[in-house]
Chain A
């Protein structure tokens, strides 16, 4: 009954639409019966499957959703709060018991297929806390604006990932000395529905694939990985753009040249090899693939907009992460960067795990304040205060996070 009513409403909406705009949708005649016109229901109010209702949905086809800063306060990001960056449509109801991972390419000794059970029984099972951050996190702030999903601060999270080391699997399969790149393929489908098109197929240099922390994972925070985050199997590379960590993973190719799959070329996940002035047009051949992600931090407590009394001390907390071996300090400023005070900083659980910071802040007088946080890593790299190097697609914004506070 409900269903019929809904169908009736959408039909009448469609009819009314075509009447009201007096223009047909191009190819509208190919729209299968009973299928709703996507754009009309763009702001439908149901939350994403398996995700927290307060996730900020930037795009619903493909699904892209980020986490508000104050909901990233957990030491490990819960599965329902972990950001989603999809390029295509996730596979429908994949089965972990029959899932197959194929390993091949012109730089392996032999082609091998594994079930997830075989991976579990043949190789050492390891758990690591690894931070994943979308290369375009913070894109929203670039000027001139960069096209694509306008990420704020929440395309980042750190979870406990359980799986096997890529290194162990690749050693078992055997890699030739001419191996250059690991390329992944997943079971997601292109938005157009064309089965011959990959929505995304990226990867990492072979040296990165062989790092101790590079995983093929089937579990996130001791649960199955949520479908939107790659169930039942995915790659996890900390310190690189999260797009390198292929989801719904069903094929790994070890090849003797840099991979040229979907979103490896053009301006995708690439920045000018040499820095350019904001707004510069950059030729494809002058663009280089992003590898290491820069040092960055996020204030996860309190939520921006806190008001407090002059006598009160404000506790602040957050996380900092880097592709270097660890974070060496985190500082905060309440005077727009004129003076900086150090925060307490936790040890790193393992490389690429985010580290937690906290501090107690007192204010000298009533008024409006901004709390800025700035992390420095073991390489001595720190965060920009204004926007760092402009690039056509707005990647690698590690400008310090800011929250607003009023003392009243």
Chain B
């Protein structure tokens, strides 16, 4: 190849390179105009501290949980979410008779035998103004005796190892 041709070739190559660069810059500039707001927003976005972030996450969790509470049919892992009680076909008797006066939490945290639950119903009727459960009583007792029965614990139970959240204790040595 002649020397002049070589020069010419390199010159063409440089021109091409330059035009590609110009093209990219123009395109980038054009693209920046519509994206400006988004980019600015990203740059201006507040950075949360660890506490703020965990608080926001907590709030989001609460919002999700609240949304769930609005669903009267939602059952998760066998628990009727709105009442926090174990779900079965007799749960509606509990909703009907029990939770307009006291919280379902009071049911969920107690454990008793069928006769123990019966005694509690009688006590509520005698002292707290509970109505006669009539033919529904047998279903109420079926439900309570099955799902909220005492467990055999002995004289003192082990610490509830499952529920312990292990953590590293920071100590100055």
Contacts and interface: CB of A to CB of B under 8 A. Distances in A.
A145 B155 contact: no
B171 to A, nearest CB: 5
A43 B84 contact: yes
A1 interface: no
A143 to B, nearest CB: 4
B67 to A, nearest CB: 9
A270 interface: no
Contact of A404 (B65, B66, B152, B164): B164
A307 B165 CA distance: 10
B156 A42 contact: no
A26 B106 CA distance: 19
B140 to A, nearest CB: 12
Contact of B164 (A141, A305, A315): A305
B49 interface: no
B92 A27 contact: no
Given A13-B72, A370-B159, A402-B159, A45 B66 contact: yes
B131 interface: yes
Contacts of A141: 156-157
Interface of A is mostly: loop
B156 A191 contact: no
B62 A386 contact: no
Interface residues of A, number: 62
Interface stretch (B3-11, B39-47, B96-104): B96-104
Contacts of A315: 171
Nearest to A304: B164
A194 interface: yes
A42 B99 contact: yes
Contacts of A42: 82-84, 99, 103-105
A312 B72 CA distance: 51
A331 interface: no
Interface in A1-28: 9-10, 12-13, 16-17, 20-28
B56 interface: no
Interface stretch (B13-21, B27-35, B108-116): B108-116
Interface string A124-136: 0000000000000
B37 interface: no
Contact of B173 (A9, A43, A312): A312
Given A23-B92, A43-B69, A45-B66, A150 B83 contact: no
A41 B69 contact: yes
Contact of A144 (B66, B70, B150, B173): B150
A312 B172 CA distance: 9
A27 B131 CA distance: 10
B129 A59 contact: no
Interface in B154-173: 154-157, 159, 161, 164-169, 171, 173
Contact of B100 (A37, A306, A387): A37
A406 interface: yes
A320 B112 CA distance: 32
Contacts of B171: 308, 312-315
A302 B164 CA distance: 13
A89 B166 CA distance: 38
A26 B96 contact: yes
Given A45-B62, A45-B66, A399-B156, A147 B103 contact: no
A59 B102 CA distance: 9
A96 interface: no
A16 B73 contact: yes
Contact of A191 (B102, B154, B159): B102
Given A21-B95, A39-B99, A147 B73 contact: no
B128 interface: yes
Contact of B72 (A40, A59, A303, A399): A40
A61 interface: yes
A23 B96 contact: yes
Contact of A145 (B72, B101, B112): B112
Nearest to A301: B169
Given A23-B92, A58-B109, A192-B129, A307 B97 contact: no
B105 to A, nearest CB: 5
A40 B85 CA distance: 11
B138 interface: no
A9 B165 contact: no
Interface string A31-60: 100000111111111000000000001111
27 contacts: A9-B70, A10-B70, A12-B70, A13-B71, A13-B72, A22-B92, A23-B95, A25-B96, A37-B100, A38-B101, A38-B103, A39-B103, A40-B72, A40-B82, A43-B69, A60-B105, A61-B103, A143-B152, A144-B150, A145-B112, A147-B116, A149-B109, A150-B109, A194-B129, A307-B166, A402-B159, A404-B164
Interface of B: 62, 65-66, 69-73, 82-84, 92-93, 95-106, 109-112, 116, 120, 128-129, 131, 150, 152-157, 159, 161, 164-169, 171, 173
Interface of A: 9-10, 12-13, 16-17, 20-28, 31, 37-45, 57-61, 141, 143-145, 147-150, 191-192, 194, 302-308, 311-315, 370, 385-387, 399, 402-404, 406
Given A147-B120, A307-B169, A406-B166, 9 more contacts: A21-B92, A26-B96, A26-B97, A40-B83, A42-B105, A143-B152, A192-B101, A308-B171, A385-B156
